Structure 1
């Protein structure tokens, strides 16, 4: 029986033109006699989720997200607990999960890579906000990075690393640490943490090869809980360098522990991001790891 692949493309993700990519994809796939494939453009937010869920119900071998971290998150969330695997052809600005899994960033090479791999299971992070559950695959966080993500989302016409970096340095001088009540694992009493940033890392990086916790393992059934204290300007430069060089764990302002679940509360609503996308301002969340919840095409 031929394997069925559904390629979902977000035409608004990234800055590259999509027509050459689709042409190259057709050229690459038309010689594969043991598979069937479809390529669909998503036309509105949430359509990728709907089409991926339908493909999983119909027994597709894989749904391949062509886009950035937002597209990947949307598709992946619809494939949990199914036999259908997530594939990624990265065309976004951050490409956090693709980079962590060492999927080639060139679309043609990524397509060839995906066809040569099998399905492997990875862990998934879940965040409960009231009665709503949302998922993340790389990182989720409260604090400064979520604040920047919120501002970034307010101007969708200007994307990319340059714009993001500009916002980081613009906001750093005025953003103040926030106080959180934190329950880790089964603690009955809360810790009071003053934090510049609280990050839950399933994978090691935010995207663009900036690693908050380079030793994070996406298959170990754990989340790396990263508590970053306020940094001076020079410390911030050093920390940025360390995240790029996979040495953030050496910074004395960053504290990392491994957990399976947590509850976070704040008196003032705080911005929350999942995989770099701003979700909402929240006063309370519960976070947990869901081991081996998603099948992904990666590895050799």
Structure 2
């Protein structure tokens, strides 16, 4: 019998999902599957629940929520034989979109039932895993303002971005090492991506792949407010790379050292985080996670 556990974020998808035993038993024969549903009631709770499910010998653990919930569940499954399933219930759903996982719950369940798996790369920032992207600078400030708002919609992201414009001149002074180069700069944005989508079909790294063993890096140097607006408009059109201030790289690792304080404000898979360190090292772990896609 296959043990399949569902870790559900009850407030994802406006809290109106109907993931319960009645629904799941319609897809998974109880003679073949042992179905367990667990509810993640607070931030980081999904980590504890996933660890419990691993000890309970779950073969498949399904993250039901947004990119934050998926990150918490998937982080426990790196370099294990347990397979990750995803039912995308969040606002952006960037990772699920890259993996062609439907937003429709019924279709996502049909995909999980097929159990067509692949091995994907995983990003590692110091000791934290990421599966879609991470970044410092403007995008981290956008996520910080987004989390402080009450909304979880595209409009909320836009409002957070506009609010972040007011502090866009407060840049950090860093040294960036990648591909044998050392760059001393005060960047508007350093974006490190494992997948090709932020969410809402928006992408800063359209050529990124979860299966190439590489990280896609986007570095944007200091911009005026007008240039920032131009950058955002071009980003919506997937033409932001034409700006002279934009540089792109592919690499297996990148090291960023902050010169003026031992603290980084960073976003990891769309979640804001403070890292108390003067240096962050980011690498890629090839084929480190089994996922249904």
**What TM-score do you get using the length of structure 1 for normalisation?**
0.88
The residue number in structure 2 matching 1:195 is 187
Runs of 4+ with >6 A deviation = none
- State yes or no: 1:259 paired with 2:251: yes
- Worse-matched range after superposition: 210-219 or 249-258: 249-258
Q: What is the aligned counterpart of 1:93 among 74, 91, 95?
A: 91
The residue number in structure 2 matching 1:117 is 115
Following TM superposition, by how much is the alpha carbon of 1:111 offset from its aligned partner in structure 2, in angstroms?
Answer: 1.0
Gaps of 5+ in 1: none
RMSD: 2.2
- Worse-matched range after superposition: 31-40 or 20-29: 20-29
- Worse-matched range after superposition: 39-48 or 53-62: 53-62
The residue number in structure 2 matching 1:14 is 13
**Aligned partner of residue 211 in structure 1, secondary structure:** coil
**Distance (whole Å) between structure 1 residues aligned to residue 41 and residue 113 of structure 2:** 26
**Distance (whole Å) between structure 2 residues aligned to residue 27 and residue 246 of structure 1:** 42
* 1:1-300 correspondence runs (5 A): 2-18=1-17, 20-22=18-20, 25-26=23-24, 28-31=26-29, 33-128=31-126, 133-155=127-149, 157-176=150-169, 177-185=171-179, 187=180, 190-233=182-225, 235-266=227-258, 267-268=260-261, 269-280=263-274, 282=276, 283-298=278-293
Following TM superposition, by how much is the alpha carbon of 1:234 offset from its aligned partner in structure 2, in angstroms?
Answer: 5.2
**Aligned partner of residue 29 in structure 1, secondary structure:** coil
Gaps of 5+ in 2: none
**What TM-score do you get using the length of structure 2 for normalisation?**
0.90
Following TM superposition, by how much is the alpha carbon of 1:100 offset from its aligned partner in structure 2, in angstroms?
Answer: 1.0
Change (3 A) 1:242 1:101: farther
**Distance (whole Å) between structure 2 residues aligned to residue 271 and residue 8 of structure 1:** 28
**Distance (whole Å) between structure 2 residues aligned to residue 55 and residue 179 of structure 1:** 43
